[in-house]
Amino acid sequence: MTDKSGLNYQKAERAAGPDPQLATSLASQARSGNQEAFKKLVGLYWPVVWKTLFSLTGSREDAEDLAQEVFLRAWRGLPHFRSQARFSTWLYRITRNTYLSFQSKKGAAKRQAHVVSLEAAEESGIPLASSDCPPEAKLIREEREKAFAEALRALPLELREVLVLREVFGLSYQEIVETTGLELGTVKSRLHRSRLLLREKLRKWL
């Protein structure tokens, strides 16, 4: 999932994540009490949910804890899932609410941002060394990754959330509209602004 400005992006014309029809089928089975079907859903969507929460919190530990809470809420909320809806969109709403609840509890406390992904930084225009590079190059790579993570975390929440929805969770523009209640023009505008801000903050690394 790659595009051009900083997270792991998903082009609009590409399929976002797991097969939507498969996910809907598994969700319908899980809604009827099929735990094996739900386990498959967790396996399909855990990486996406975790990466989304990591991008929002900047903490691997928090992302892990919150991802577990997301799927616990999803299991409990399955009776309310409508099969005609896209499962990924429904699951993101739970992810979003879980994150906002977490932020409310944390208050204004700031957390140290950790490494996002190598692919993310590369797609931001930051050239990174390979994993088998010498120690000096690894140090530079880590500094660049930290700079990217901090730049992402510095974005206003309304910009960062839309960016994560699009680039990490892989939702289409229309799905972002449905999830956030924003107008399509607002979604596109916020995505554009968030990308420009990221590039500005990362100018020294470009």
pLDDT digits (tens, 9 = 90+) for 149-190: 677 778 888 888 888 888 777 788 988 888 888 999 999 999
Label residue 167 exposed, middle or buried (CB < 10 Å: 0-12, 13-18, 19+): buried
Residue 15 lies in a domain: no
Q: What percent of the chain has pLDDT over 70?
A: 72
pLDDT in tens, 7-31: 333 333 333 467 778 888 899 899 9
Q: Structure pTM?
A: 0.63
Distance of CA 118 to the CA centre of its chain: 15
Instruction: Domain count for the chain, please give it.
Output: 1
Residue 13 lies in a domain: no
- The CATH code of the domain that includes 165 is 1.10.1740.10
Amino acid residing at 156 = P
Q: Copy the structure tokens of residue 14.
A: 């590409």
Question: Which is more confident, 109 or 69?
Answer: 69
Range of the domain at 158: 20-205
Q: Copy the structure tokens of residue 70.
A: 């997301």
Residue 177 lies in a domain: yes
Residue 59 lies in a domain: yes
Contact 70, 57 (CB under 8 A): no
Label residue 6 exposed, middle or buried (CB < 10 Å: 0-12, 13-18, 19+): buried
Residue 1 lies in a domain: no
Distance, in Å, from the CA atom of 190 to the CA atom of 142, rounded to the nearest integer, reads 28
Residue 8 lies in a domain: no
Residue 37 lies in a domain: yes
Residue 32 lies in a domain: yes
